[in-house]
């Protein structure tokens, strides 16, 4: 931040010019840079942000209440609609949580298919993030590139389960769809085609002077703040903490794969950008290994048609593209969950916005909202 004050001194007040008092500015809920319907009330001194308050809930649909009135299988499609750019991850977390409650495990082939699709989904989610984030900051081209390339992944989803976005790809106990003919080749082709595209994105941004000036030193979060605020995912890793649930508490078959956890140094917007770019590369690595090692066998575990998990409580979380996505499910032994609590990464991460933007400029708020990678469908549920 210090290198930015050379051209605009924010801390000294010029009494003769204008004694600016606190100004309250409303940003959103209908604002292109809020990625949905997020309202941020900014308290400003001139252009300097003194504080913010987020008003959320515009997309609240009562997902947790709906869960209590649906059977376990019926609730499965609803979770896709929380983080709608990473619906596969949502489904994975939910299915795994219920499987844990039911005490079954998906067969190896199903686990591999799940990992392949989830990692593809991570790439797609990061592409949406990169495109919109760059657009917010003023770089228009990455948006078109990202959305064009994301289409290749969505095509795989469509071929696999018929849906592009709200996929409902997995079922409790495994996968319901067998990998279609040519699934492996499609995935490998997608990976091979994607890597040069990723270099293209980087060419546009990584050394771009405007990009660097707009992102370096903006919205710094140190590891202590991250932990205190419960921030997870790439935002946490960019602050230097090497923590990823895929490694820390491996679920599915992630322990079979060799991949790195990219971390940043400064915890600023630029590092978060680099971390996510590198994460996409690592996802490609995982997909390639998973496709090569895709075992044969059943894709569905033996589970009863009517699911009645034993009485108990379970918390299960996965590393979604945005951070730790957890499901806390209470079963009373009936066909419907007694309580489903979703621990949404976007909701918790958004709380860090206030800390990140204090002292920055209004334009930086846009950059910070973008770098947090929130999806309002998940924030509001």
Partner 1 sequence: MPDETKDSNPVLPESKPPAAPQSGLEAAPSAAAILKPTSAETSGPSAQQAATSPAKPEAAAKPAETAKPAAPATGEESATPPAAAKPAAPAAKAPPKPEGPKPEPWDSDLARSLKSQYGSGIKEASTYVGQKYLVVDSTILYEILLRMRGDELFDYCVDITAVHYPKREAQFDIVYILYSFHHNERVRIKTQIKDGDSLRSVVGIWETANWLEREVFDMFGISFDGHPDLKRILLPDGWKGYPLRKDYPILQQDQEWVKINLGIESGQ
Residue ranges in contact with partner 1 by CB under 8 A: 56-57, 60, 62, 64-66, 68-69, 100-101, 103, 227-231, 241, 243, 248-249, 309-315, 317, 324, 326, 328, 330, 333, 338-339, 341, 343, 347-348, 351, 380-381
- CB 202, min distance to partner 1, A: 31
- Letter string b/e over residues 311-333, b meaning 16 or more CB atoms within 10 A of that residue's CB: eeebebbbbbbbbbbbbbbbbee
- CB 250, min distance to partner 1, A: 11
Nearer to partner 1, 248 or 265 (CB): 248
Matching residue, tokens 């709608």? 84
CA within 13 Å, CB half, 157: 26
Nearer to partner 1, 26 or 185 (CB): 26
Residues 6+ apart with CB under 8 A from 361: 8, 47, 48, 49
Strand ranges, E, within 110-198: 170-171, 174-175
Nearer to partner 1, 208 or 351 (CB): 351
Burial of 248 (0-12, 13-18, 19+ CB in 10 A): exposed
Q: For the residues of 273-335, what is the DSSP string, one character each?
A: HHHHHHHHHHHHHHHHHHHHT---S-SB----SS--PPSEEEEEEEEETTEEEEEEEEE-SSS
- CB 261, min distance to partner 1, A: 14
Verify cis geometry, omega within 30 degrees of 0, for the bond prior to 347.
no
Nearer to partner 1, 81 or 150 (CB): 81
Nearer to partner 1, 217 or 344 (CB): 344
In 3D space, the residue among 293, 222, 270, 254 whose CA is nearest the CA of residue 371 turns out to be: 270
- CB 94, min distance to partner 1, A: 15
Nearer to partner 1, 24 or 193 (CB): 24
Bridge partners (DSSP) listed for residue 342:
327
Q: What are 261's two structure tokens?
A: 């956890």
- CB 262, min distance to partner 1, A: 18
- CB 328, min distance to partner 1, A: 6
- CB 283, min distance to partner 1, A: 23
Residues 6+ apart with CB under 8 A from 304: none
Q: Kindly report the length of the chain.
A: 381
Nearer to partner 1, 141 or 336 (CB): 336
Nearer to partner 1, 98 or 128 (CB): 98
- CB 23, min distance to partner 1, A: 21
Q: Which helix (H) or strand (E) holds 52?
A: strand 48-55
């Amino acid at each position: 931040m210090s290198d930015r004050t050379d051209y605009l001194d924010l801390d000294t007040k010029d009494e003769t010019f204008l004694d600016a008092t606190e100004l309250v500015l409303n940003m959103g809920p209908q604002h292109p840079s809020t990625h949905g319907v997020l309202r941020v009330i900014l308290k400003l001194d001139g252009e300097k942000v003194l504080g913010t308050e987020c008003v959320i809930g515009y997309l609240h649909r009562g997902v947790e209440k709906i869960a209590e009135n649906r059977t376990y299988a019926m609730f499965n499609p609803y979770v896709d609609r929380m983080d709608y750019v990473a619906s596969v991850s949502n489904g994975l977390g939910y299915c795994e949580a219920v499987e844990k409650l039911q005490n079954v495990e998906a067969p190896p082939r199903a686990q591999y298919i799940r990992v392949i699709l989830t990692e593809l989904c991570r790439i797609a989610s990061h592409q949406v993030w990169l495109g919109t984030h760059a657009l917010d900051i003023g770089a228009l081209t990455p948006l078109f590139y990202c959305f064009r390339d994301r289409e290749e992944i969505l095509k795989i989803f469509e071929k696999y389960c018929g849906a592009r976005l709200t996929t409902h790809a997995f079922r409790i106990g495994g996968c319901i769809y067998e990998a279609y003919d040519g699934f492996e080749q499609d995935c490998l082709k997608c990976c091979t085609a994607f890597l040069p595209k990723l270099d293209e994105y980087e060419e546009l941004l990584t050394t771009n002077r405007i990009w660097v000036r707009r992102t370096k030193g903006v919205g710094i979060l140190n590891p202590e703040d991250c932990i205190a605020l419960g921030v997870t995912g790439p935002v946490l890793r960019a602050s230097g903490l090497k923590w990823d649930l895929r490694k820390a508490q491996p679920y599915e078959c992630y322990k079979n794969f060799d991949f790195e956890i990219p971390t940043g140094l400064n915890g600023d917007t630029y590092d978060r950008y680099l971390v996510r770019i590198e994460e996409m590369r690592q996802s490609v690595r995982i997909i390639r290994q998973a496709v090569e090692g895709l075992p044969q066998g059943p894709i569905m575990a033996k589970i009863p048609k009517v699911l009645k998990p034993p009485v108990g409580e379970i918390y299960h979380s996965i590393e979604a593209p945005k951070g730790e996505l957890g499901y806390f499910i209470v079963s009373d032994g009936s066909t419907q969950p007694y309580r489903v609590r979703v621990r949404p990464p976007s909701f918790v991460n958004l709380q860090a916005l206030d800390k990140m933007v204090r002292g920055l400029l209004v334009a930086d708020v846009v950059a910070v909202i973008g770098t947090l990678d929130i999806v309002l469908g998940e924030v509001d549920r």
